[in-house]
């Protein structure tokens, strides 16, 4: 049984090392790849104002956050919630860096000490879709995830969208599985055989342009996967 937490944060700016802080945490829980509805969401008083550029992204005013709890007040609840789970984050280094800095201020160990692992969906997307835009909005458009309600960034909404994106990106063979009825005796199932020996399949050769495009795509995939492209491996075997 697998417990995963899809997580997103909003911050006062782009640099945790230079004093920017977390202002919102949104988490949704997946259990065996199904949304449980057991979410975690907090607005946080960052004890500083957001940069103007950050305000344009998240739209959370400094005044709104003044009476919200500080990170220290929600840290225990957050750590209990993520304990032992796999975290799924888009551009994980950013969010984890900010959360680690918040934990460091409280004299607590980094996030990796509490969770089983961290999966970066941005890295996954770059490998799956090399050379393409892989922002959360772009992935929603590409994978058919409805993000029509998303005008500004919001941590909980983004976590919910990312959960859908992650399921689409990792379904793999799930989409190919056929449902088999279990109320029949396997010995009674009849399989009809077809004689294909008399059928001659035509062989369609790729044009030079198609071959060149194929090679270019393989080169991009090989670069994105760090030399792990299966076609290249077979060619060199």
Tell me the catalytic residues: 153
**Cα 199 to Cα 230: distance, rounded to the nearest angstrom:** 31
CA distances from 29 to 2, 40, 99 (A): 10, 8, 18
CA dist 31 to 85, 88, 161, Å?
10, 13, 16
Angle of CA points 222, 224, 228, to nearest 5° = 45
DSSP letter string over 177-223? PPP--SSS-GGG--------TT------PPPHHHHHHHHHHHHHHHH
Cα 165 from Cα 141, distance rounded (Å): 10
């Amino acid at each position: 049984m697998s417990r995963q937490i899809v997580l997103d944060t909003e911050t006062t700016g782009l640099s945790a090392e230079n004093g920017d802080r977390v202002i919102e945490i949104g988490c949704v829980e997946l259990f065996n790849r199904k949304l449980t509805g057991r979410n975690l969401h907090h607005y946080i008083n960052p004890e500083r104002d957001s940069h103007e550029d950050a305000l344009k992204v998240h739209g959370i005013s400094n005044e709104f956050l003044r009476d919200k709890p500080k990170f220290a007040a929600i840290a225990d609840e957050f750590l209990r919630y993520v304990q032992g789970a796999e975290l799924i984050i888009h551009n994980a280094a950013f969010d984890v860096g900010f959360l680690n800095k918040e934990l460091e201020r409280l004299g607590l160990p980094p996030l990796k000490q509490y969770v089983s692992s961290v999966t970066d969906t941005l890295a996954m997307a770059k490998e799956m879709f090399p050379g393409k835009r892989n922002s959360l909005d772009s992935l929603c458009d590409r994978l058919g995830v409805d993000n029509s309600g998303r005008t500004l960034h919001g941590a909980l909404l983004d976590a919910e969208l990312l959960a859908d994106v992650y399921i689409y990106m990792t379904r793999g063979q799930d989409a190919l599985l056929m449902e088999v009825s279990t109320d029949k005796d396997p010995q009674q199932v009849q399989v009809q055989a077809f004689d294909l020996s008399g059928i001659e399949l035509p062989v369609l050769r790729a044009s030079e342009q198609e071959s060149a495009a194929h090679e270019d795509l393989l080169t991009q995939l090989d670069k994105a996967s760090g030399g792990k492209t299966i076609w290249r491996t077979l060619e060199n075997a």
